[in-house]
Chains A and B, each alone.
Chain A
Amino acid sequence: MTERDGTPPDGSRRDALPDTEGRREPGEAPVDGVVLSEEQRRRRRSRSVAIAVVLGALCVLFYVVTIVKLGPAVLIRPL
Chain B
Amino acid sequence: MSESTNVATTGSRTTQILGFVVLLGLSVVFVLAFVVTEPDAVQQDAVRMFYIHVPAAIVALYLTVPALAVASAMALYKKTRWWDITAAAAAELGVVFCGLTLVTGVIWGRPIWNTWWEWGDVRLLTTLVLFLMLLGYLAYRRSVVDPGTRARRSAVIALVASTNVLLVNRSVIWWQNRTLHQKSSLIEGRLEDMKLFTFALSTLVFAVMFFWMMIHRFRIGWLEHKIETVGVDAAIAERRASAHAGLDEAISHPALEKEGST
Q: Do the two shown chains form a genuine complex with each other?
A: no
